[in-house]
Structure 1
Amino acid sequence: MKYRPQTYFLLFFFFTLEFACAQQLTMSREEMIALTPSWEGERFPDGRPKVSDSILERLKNISLEQAWSVLRGEGYTHQYEYGWQNIHPGDVLVGRVLTAQYMPIRPEVRAQLEKKGAEEGRIGDMVSWPIDMLEQGDVYVADSYAKILDGPIIGDNLGTAISAKSGNGVVLNGTVRDLDGLAKIEGFTSFIRGTHPSYQQQMMLTGINVPIRIGPVTVMPGDLVLGKLDGVIFIPPHLAEKVVKTGELVILRDQFGHQRLREGKYTPGQIDARWSDEIEKDFSQWLEAHIDELPVSREEIQELLKTRTW
């Protein structure tokens, strides 16, 4: 089925309401593809973009500042959110986004959504449905509207299930319970708004793998999430490779520049400005001399060296 452009616009901004009214929890493959038209790579069976594992691994070394700079240059000015509590401070979270949208309960709507879930073979309470859909390398990203009392949508039981399914933690615009238990799950690097000993009540799940809002960010299924310290940035899949390659170049140039500053070969003004041809040539020679010692693969450095002009 084909839709007019105006229909896609309405789908984008009113998906959650439409899902609730139509008793529909997820987008169709066609709708998913329509809302991620810039991605030309591999997709999951449901249409969600599937950025490669190699890009995910390389993204771990990229700073939030480097990623932010690339995205802003591409016109994506609302991709970063700060002020999180990181369950494993200092660890890095990277993965493909699977989204979930929660809303305050409206009994007749929840009843219809539960009926639809049963027809689709979904098991248990609504809070477990998105977890059942996770793949390795995913990050469960949920908007539970920062509800505190009766707001936690996961504890250590569901956290263990999430870790087993995805190998990752979560990003929750809301609270969790059982923080002691969650902190003991190895690799469960997660970004949350806080904790509370209660459990979710008077809530309903209105969408899985739909566009959601996390702070100022519109998050799409298949985006990449990069979380470090207390900040999280969401990267559209079609820009992931550019973020990684640009970030790796910045890492190399910074390492070279810092070394030359320590040696006193160049002044801060020379390194902090646009590099002269002399410095660019020195950088190229430095790359060749240290190709096996740098935090970027030999193959990527060799590809970079092909672009030199001398």
Structure 2
Amino acid sequence: MMNKRIAFIAALMMGSLFANAQRVGSSPEYIKALTAQWKGERFADGRPKVSDAILARLKSISLEEAWGVLSNKGYANQFEGDWMIINQDSAMVGRVVTAQYMPSRPDLITVVQEQGKAEGRGQQGGTNSWPIDILTDGDVYVADGYGKVADGTLIGDNLGNSIYAKSRRGVIFYGSVRDVEGLSEIKGFNGWIKASDPSYIKQMMLTTINAPIRVGRATVLPGDIVLAKKYGVVFIPAYLVEDLVLTSEVTKLRDEFGHQRLREKKYLAGQIDSKWTDDIKKDFLNWINHYPGKLPMTKKELDDYLKERNY
């Protein structure tokens, strides 16, 4: 009887240990706490569900415009440059899924594998497939591979095909990949990586999924929105992305107006490049009302924005 009681207590203690263990994948509650300023719809995993329409508009925003808005909001550490890009002429936007990798350590690998099993993660193949398993349409797989190149290749073309099938996007790795030739042949897939190497992943382990990570100069949270272009990558907090898009779109219109008026010699450069007079503001609004193309935002969005800004 005593042995059964001891066994029962031990089982309870083990169950409590796993219940309170550090998860491989962050809980929805933790992700919600990390992204508490987002007030909109969320995915089941807790990540903000920024609309596809906003993502589509973001794709035409320049890195400088996005960086400028973030910098003005106090976000100075959201950009990383100096990438090898698999398809250089293609931009990519999407909702971030993060993964953290570290050099292998046997005792920690055991804990990660046991916890992954408790979370229902696949037990065949390497743990580097676990972040891929949870991807959905519109996600971008972002990983800190701590810059490892040889024996640090997080994916090859097989996993690349799986990533694209699930997300219709690609990857951003502070690390390396293999089979770049094969990856480049996956139509629609793209990758921002630090290097390529023919080796397989070795002496490297996954530690977390959807936790905060560092990507070079940038701090990245799960659910961030990434804007990846030819000359770098910007990671945008979800709660700021809609305002960032609209602000950047208005900036582009202001620049277009200013450049046109300077070519027409209607104003001096100093007039356009400083706070506008009331006459220039009126001219700009009239120019907007007769804009020859399709505005990137609705007229109501633009009117509401301009009412709140002293430009």
> Given the two structures, how large is their TM-score scaled by the length of structure 1?
0.88
Partner of 1:77: 76
Deviation at 1:106, TM superposition (A): 0.7
CA distance in 1, matches of 2:259, 2:185: 38
Deviation at 1:308, TM superposition (A): 9.2
CA distance in 2, matches of 1:206, 1:95: 23
Give yes or no for the alignment of 1:178 onto 2:179. Answer: yes
5+ residue gaps, structure 2, are 1-17
Q: Which string of whole-angstrom CA distances, capped at 9 and with x for unpartnered residues, describes residues 265-309 of structure 1?
A: 122222111111111111101111116444445554455566699
Partner of 2:228: helix, strand, or coil? strand
**Are the structure 2 counterparts of residues 50 and 308 from structure 1 closer, same or farther at C-alpha, using a change threshold of 3 Å?**
closer
**Are the structure 2 counterparts of residues 207 and 215 from structure 1 closer, same or farther at C-alpha, using a change threshold of 3 Å?**
same
CA distance in 2, matches of 1:249, 1:276: 18
CA distance in 1, matches of 2:261, 2:294: 16
Partner of 1:38: helix, strand, or coil? coil
Identity %: 54
Contact between 2:84 and 2:195, CA under 8 Å: does it hold in 1?
yes
CA distance in 2, matches of 1:143, 1:307: 39
Contact between 1:292 and 1:298, CA under 8 Å: does it hold in 2?
no
Contact between 1:151 and 1:174, CA under 8 Å: does it hold in 2?
yes
**Which letter maps to 2:231?**
D
Partner of 2:113: helix, strand, or coil? helix
Partner of 2:39: helix, strand, or coil? coil
Partner of 2:244: helix, strand, or coil? helix
Partner of 2:155: 154
Partner of 2:248: helix, strand, or coil? helix
Give yes or no for the alignment of 1:221 onto 2:222. Answer: yes
Partner of 1:7: none
Partner of 2:63: 64
CA distance in 2, matches of 1:287, 1:174: 45
Contact between 1:42 and 1:49, CA under 8 Å: does it hold in 2?
yes
**Which letter maps to 2:25?**
T
CA distance in 1, matches of 2:300, 2:187: 32
Deviation at 1:257, TM superposition (A): 1.1
Deviation at 1:154, TM superposition (A): 0.6
26-35 or 75-84, larger mean C-alpha shift: 26-35
Contact between 1:71 and 1:235, CA under 8 Å: does it hold in 2?
yes
Deviation at 1:121, TM superposition (A): 2.8
Partner of 2:12: none
CA distance in 2, matches of 1:52, 1:89: 26
Contact between 1:67 and 1:243, CA under 8 Å: does it hold in 2?
yes
Contact between 1:85 and 1:230, CA under 8 Å: does it hold in 2?
no
Partner of 2:48: helix, strand, or coil? coil
Partner of 1:103: helix, strand, or coil? strand
Partner of 1:248: helix, strand, or coil? helix
CA distance in 2, matches of 1:293, 1:240: 21
Deviation at 1:126, TM superposition (A): 0.6
Give yes or no for the alignment of 1:119 onto 2:132. Answer: no
Q: Which string of whole-angstrom CA distances, capped at 9 and with x for unpartnered residues, describes residues 176-212 of structure 1?
A: 1111111122222221001000010111110000110
Contact between 1:23 and 1:112, CA under 8 Å: does it hold in 2?
no
5+ residue gaps, structure 1, are 1-18
Contact between 1:173 and 1:214, CA under 8 Å: does it hold in 2?
yes
**Are the structure 2 counterparts of residues 307 and 217 from structure 1 closer, same or farther at C-alpha, using a change threshold of 3 Å?**
closer
CA distance in 1, matches of 2:111, 2:213: 21
Partner of 2:7: none
> Given the two structures, how large is their TM-score scaled by the length of structure 2?
0.88
CA distance in 2, matches of 1:24, 1:295: 42
Q: Which string of whole-angstrom CA distances, capped at 9 and with x for unpartnered residues, describes residues 218-245 of structure 1?
A: 1100001111113111101111111111
Give yes or no for the alignment of 1:87 onto 2:95. Answer: no
Q: Give aligned pairs, total.
A: 290
**Which letter maps to 2:119?**
E
**Which letter maps to 1:243?**
L
CA distance in 1, matches of 2:250, 2:234: 19
Partner of 2:10: none
Partner of 1:99: helix, strand, or coil? strand
**Which letter maps to 2:91?**
V
Q: Which string of whole-angstrom CA distances, capped at 9 and with x for unpartnered residues, describes residues 11-70 of structure 1?
A: xxxxxxxx9x93520122222112222111111112111111111111111111111111
Q: Which string of whole-angstrom CA distances, capped at 9 and with x for unpartnered residues, describes residues 68-113 of structure 1?
A: 1111111111111111111111221111100000111111211222
**Which letter maps to 1:148?**
V
CA distance in 2, matches of 1:276, 1:305: 15
CA distance in 2, matches of 1:103, 1:307: 47
